[in-house]
Chain A
Amino acid sequence: MRLDNLTFKGGVLVKDRKDFTRDKAIEKAAEPSIVRIPLQQHVGAPCKALVKKGDKVKVGQKIGDSEATLSVPVHSSVSGEVIGIEKLYNPEGLRVDCIVIESDGLNEMHESVEPKGNLEDLTGEEILAIVREAGIAGMGGAGFPLHIKLSTSLEAEVDTIIINGSECEPYLNSDDRYMQECPEKVIYGTQVIMKYLGVDESYIAVEDNKPNAISSLKEALKDNDKIKVASLKTKFPQGESYRLVDAVTGRKVPQGGRTKDVKTFVTNVLTAAAVRDAIVEGKPLYERVVTVTGNGVKEPKNLLIKVGTSVADIIEQCGGFNGTPGKIIAGGPMTGNTLFTLDTPVTKEVTGIIVLTEEEAAPVKTTPCIKCGKCVEACPVYLMPNVIQALSLKDRYDDAEEYNALSCVKCGTCSYICPAKRPLTEAIAHAKREIRAKRKNS
């Protein structure tokens, strides 16, 4: 099987803007004095608080959990005292309950944080329970509870595992740096997933603009013939899971389906590493690597940040703003969300914090569609974004649905490439919401 220059049809070459932090090693962020830990940092049901005001908590202690199937617990990232529960906007713009903890600066670890034993001795159920208890949800930005993905993939008898290190979003380096600095952790996590799913062969897929990550993974894998490094052509949105499965295996996820429907399991490199941490160290997911970058911040960095740290604290230790900030993005610039307050806490899903300057964030003038067809050529789902946008603007959502608006993955490619600067992705996102709302009501 070919393992280099893999790609998919469609997409766009985006200037990668990764130079800000490409060569910056991951640093541990300064200890926050206060953390605000959202009770929902994942797809699914929010957690209920397990602690109350005045309680003492330790690092790694479970402070929120839910009985719902589709949910994962949250853990404290510091040791200290719970000083209340506040409602705050999370990076996705939803108002959620957050447990506010004042750190005592001691970082005392909770008793539950201890190695979970040898991988050889663990059964599938035990692995699944450890993954759930560690609060692991997809760290590539989607936040889907990993234990659910694992168990449904096992039922679907997947035969291929792809660990996603493509990091196709511009600006971001967190996955790249992690693969360079800790390849063995990613590999160990992959082995855990392989054992759980009973799969013999897996791939760690990396875009070819990360040669150092590819070589350090290959070096760490030189005595391992079960895990292979697949190098992908650099093109957006290569990291989107269906495009990734297509590029690596040639399998096409059916419309409305999931990767498990084509017997493939995909997860992000940091998620795989979190699985390793949960088993080897017993460490739940309470901190993650985040790329803090952009022209609007003085010292861009790759930081290991504790969940619940405020964006203000992070910007501060990156030298503060460079001029007046115009836009702050949580995630990548193609699919991330904008923030409007610096109180927003970092969650398990935040891959990057990008500060754009006022000039960069200034709205662009929209001109009439010239029907150049660039959006149609570039759409990785083979939609006609120009048509769906026009229908969406006229509130013709039934017609938009007929043009497969619901299959849109909101990758942003069409809006990016449009020479008339029309908000295509944005209008399709709106149409999707309206179509879904209509379905719910009927």
Chain B
Amino acid sequence: MEGKVKDPNRDKVVLDKPLTMSLAPHIRSCDTTRRLMLDVIIAMVPAIIGSVYFYGLQALVLILTSVASAVVAEALIQKLFKKDIQIGDLSAVVTGILLAFNLPANAPWWIAVFGSAFAIIIVKEFFGGIGSNFMNPALAARAALVASWPSIMATYINPDGITSATPLAVMKGGAGVESLPSLTRMFIGDIGGSLGETSALLLLIGAAYLLIRQVINWRIPVFYIGTTAIMLLLLGVSGDLIIYQILGGGLILGAFFMATDYSTTPITPLGKIVFAIGCGVLTALIRVKGGMPEGVSYSILLMNIMTPIIERFTRPRVFGGAK
């Protein structure tokens, strides 16, 4: 095209509207908070189906009550506080499901309503709403419920509907492998316990989905469960019971779905590991030395409180920074 001069009479391109000015970057990933929360909900669907299969429709009613009260509580309190109504981000739905997962399947409906409202209003919104709460809302609500209605919260039914001790309680009593359900039943979730915690299989399917979608990071679950197992051994629990300890209580649910909560756990990669190890040590200590058979929820809550300090001491070292 050498020598060809552009014809000045040709139509000039013009701007009809002012252009948008902004600093870089000019493109964004398609991830949103809502999408992440939706992924967590999708990941919990297998366990939801499992809970209905094991405990019947009462489980579904409890989950739906819990979710509905969480969403309504969030909308009401945000309206009262004159904030934008943010129920569209689906985080209240996640909290509702997690709270229901932590209840005995035969708990009355008002337990779920109170728990959800406590989780959303007191634990989450009073401290600034999504991303600002310092404790896991579902777990803090569970702790409040256990303190307020201890007998309801400690009466577990087996999938066959009969009230009975959970495997952890059996082990706490000093019984051996012979008095526990078979490993297959423990893995599938055909045992007593909270509504959503029993089926390791279904929870792990959901966890795999979260790991593949990069919603959660492997560090916390792996270090949490690993530390728990090692600590239990160190505290004298016999080796053949370790697998029952891992499958028996809320460890899988806690490690993959609660200890990976964004706002209440350290943001730094190293901090996540410290947090998980702390959870594992506490869980084993409570289970072996404490008065209760289960320690997952209190371990996570205690480590939630440690999070700001852990973050402060685990800041990543800047690239090329002094050693």
Q: What residues of chain B lie closer than 8 Å to A316, measured between beta carbons?
A: 6, 10-13
Question: Is B262 touching A242 in the complex (CB atoms < 8 A)?
Answer: no
Q: Which of B9-36 contact A (CB under 8 A)?
A: 10-29, 31-33, 35-36
Interface string of B101-136 (1 = CB under 8 A from A): 000000000000000000000000000011110000
Question: Is B316 touching A383 in the complex (CB atoms < 8 A)?
Answer: yes
Q: What residues of chain B lie closer than 8 Å to A380, measured between beta carbons?
A: 319
Which residue of chain A has its CB nearest to the CB of B264?
A: A371
Question: Is B5 touching A373 in the complex (CB atoms < 8 A)?
Answer: no
Q: What residues of chain B lie closer than 8 Å to A328, measured between beta carbons?
A: 19
Q: Which of A101-151 contact B (CB under 8 A)?
A: 103, 105-107
Distance (whole angstroms) from the CB of A353 to the closest CB of chain B: 12
Which residue of chain B has its CB nearest to the CB of A320?
A: B13
Question: Is A326 touching B19 in the complex (CB atoms < 8 A)?
Answer: yes
Question: Is B1 touching A28 in the complex (CB atoms < 8 A)?
Answer: yes
Q: What residues of chain A lie closer than 8 Å to B317, measured between beta carbons?
A: 382
Question: Is A336 touching B3 in the complex (CB atoms < 8 A)?
Answer: no
Question: Is A30 touching B6 in the complex (CB atoms < 8 A)?
Answer: yes
Question: Is A327 touching B22 in the complex (CB atoms < 8 A)?
Answer: yes
Q: Which of B68-106 contact A (CB under 8 A)?
A: 86, 89, 91
A254 to B89, alpha carbons, bound, how many Å? 41
Known: A255-B318, A425-B23. 18 other contacts (CB 8 A): A30-B1, A106-B3, A327-B19, A331-B24, A333-B27, A334-B27, A360-B27, A364-B28, A367-B33, A381-B319, A386-B267, A407-B318, A412-B25, A415-B25, A416-B27, A416-B28, A420-B32, A420-B33
Which residue of chain A has its CB nearest to the CB of B35?
A: A419
Question: Is B321 touching A255 in the complex (CB atoms < 8 A)?
Answer: yes
Which residue of chain A has its CB nearest to the CB of B132?
A: A368
Q: What residues of chain A lie closer than 8 Å to B150, measured between beta carbons?
A: none
Question: Is B131 touching A417 in the complex (CB atoms < 8 A)?
Answer: no
Contact partner of B36 among A321, A338, A369, A419, CB < 8 A? A419
Q: What residues of chain B lie closer than 8 Å to A420, measured between beta carbons?
A: 32-33, 131
CB-defined A-B contacts under 8 Å, sample of 7: A327-B20, A334-B24, A334-B25, A361-B19, A367-B32, A412-B25, A423-B23
A416 to B30, alpha carbons, bound, how many Å? 9
Question: Is B3 touching A333 in the complex (CB atoms < 8 A)?
Answer: no
Report if A44 contacts B (CB, 8 A).
Answer: no
Of the four ranges (under 10, 10 to 19, 20 to 34, 35 or more), the interface on chain B belongs to 35 or more
Supposing A316-B12, A338-B20, A338-B21 touch, asked if A31 and B131 sit within 8 A by C-beta, the answer is no
Supposing A28-B1, A384-B315 touch, asked if A373 and B28 sit within 8 A by C-beta, the answer is no
Q: What residues of chain B lie closer than 8 Å to A180, measured between beta carbons?
A: none
Contact partner of B13 among A315, A361, A384, A412, CB < 8 A? A315
A37 to B28, alpha carbons, bound, how many Å? 33
Q: What residues of chain A lie closer than 8 Å to B129, measured between beta carbons?
A: 368
Report if A216 contacts B (CB, 8 A).
Answer: no
Name B's interface SS: loop
A211 to B15, alpha carbons, bound, how many Å? 38
Question: Is B318 touching A381 in the complex (CB atoms < 8 A)?
Answer: yes
Q: What residues of chain A lie closer than 8 Å to B3, measured between beta carbons?
A: 31, 105-107
Which residue of chain A has its CB nearest to the CB of B214?
A: A374
Interface string of A353-368 (1 = CB under 8 A from B): 0101010111110011
A254 to B322, alpha carbons, bound, how many Å? 8
Question: Is A419 touching B267 in the complex (CB atoms < 8 A)?
Answer: no
A235 to B267, alpha carbons, bound, how many Å? 23
Counting chain A CB atoms within 10 Å of each CB, the highest count among B2, B13, B318 belongs to: B13
Distance (whole angstroms) from the CB of A108 to the closest CB of chain B: 11
Distance (whole angstroms) from the CB of B19 to the closest CB of chain A: 5
Q: What residues of chain B lie closer than 8 Å to A253, measured between beta carbons?
A: 319-320
Q: What residues of chain B lie closer than 8 Å to A336, measured between beta carbons?
A: 24, 26
Q: Please tell me the number of chain A residues within 8 Å of chain B, measured between CB atoms.
A: 85
Question: Is A324 touching B26 in the complex (CB atoms < 8 A)?
Answer: no
Which residue of chain A has its CB nearest to the CB of B5?
A: A105
A302 to B14, alpha carbons, bound, how many Å? 22
A-side interface residues toward B, CB under 8 Å? 12, 14, 17, 27-33, 103, 105-107, 170, 242, 252-257, 312-313, 315-317, 320-321, 324-329, 331, 333-340, 342, 354, 356, 358, 360-364, 367-374, 376-377, 380-384, 386, 403-404, 407, 410, 412, 415-421, 423, 425-426, 429
Which residue of chain B has its CB nearest to the CB of A415?
A: B25
Supposing A325-B15, A338-B26 touch, asked if A370 and B20 sit within 8 A by C-beta, the answer is no
Which residue of chain A has its CB nearest to the CB of B265?
A: A371
Report if B263 contacts A (CB, 8 A).
Answer: yes
Q: What residues of chain A lie closer than 8 Å to B17, measured between beta carbons?
A: 324, 358
Question: Is B130 touching A14 in the complex (CB atoms < 8 A)?
Answer: no
Question: Is A371 touching B28 in the complex (CB atoms < 8 A)?
Answer: no
Report if B58 contacts A (CB, 8 A).
Answer: no
Question: Is B89 touching A367 in the complex (CB atoms < 8 A)?
Answer: yes
Q: What residues of chain A lie closer than 8 Å to B263, measured between beta carbons?
A: 370-371
Contact partner of B268 among A254, A324, A373, A417, CB < 8 A? A373
Supposing A368-B131, A383-B318, A384-B315 touch, asked if A321 and B13 sit within 8 A by C-beta, the answer is yes
Q: What residues of chain A lie closer than 8 Å to B131, measured between beta carbons?
A: 368-371, 420
Report if B291 contacts A (CB, 8 A).
Answer: no
Question: Is A312 touching B12 in the complex (CB atoms < 8 A)?
Answer: yes
Distance (whole angstroms) from the CB of A327 to the closest CB of chain B: 5
A328 to B20, alpha carbons, bound, how many Å? 8
Distance (whole angstroms) from the CB of B243 to the closest CB of chain A: 31
Which residue of chain B has its CB nearest to the CB of A309?
A: B6
Distance (whole angstroms) from the CB of B274 to the closest CB of chain A: 14
Supposing A255-B321, A384-B315, A407-B318 touch, asked if A335 and B25 sit within 8 A by C-beta, the answer is yes
A316 to B13, alpha carbons, bound, how many Å? 6
Q: What residues of chain A lie closer than 8 Å to B16, measured between beta carbons?
A: 324
Distance (whole angstroms) from the CB of B310 to the closest CB of chain A: 13
Question: Is B19 touching A103 in the complex (CB atoms < 8 A)?
Answer: no
Distance (whole angstroms) from the CB of B43 to the closest CB of chain A: 15
Question: Is A367 touching B86 in the complex (CB atoms < 8 A)?
Answer: yes
Distance (whole angstroms) from the CB of B187 to the closest CB of chain A: 30
Q: What residues of chain A lie closer than 8 Å to B262, measured between beta carbons?
A: 370-373
A317 to B15, alpha carbons, bound, how many Å? 16
A92 to B53, alpha carbons, bound, how many Å? 62
Question: Is A412 touching B24 in the complex (CB atoms < 8 A)?
Answer: yes
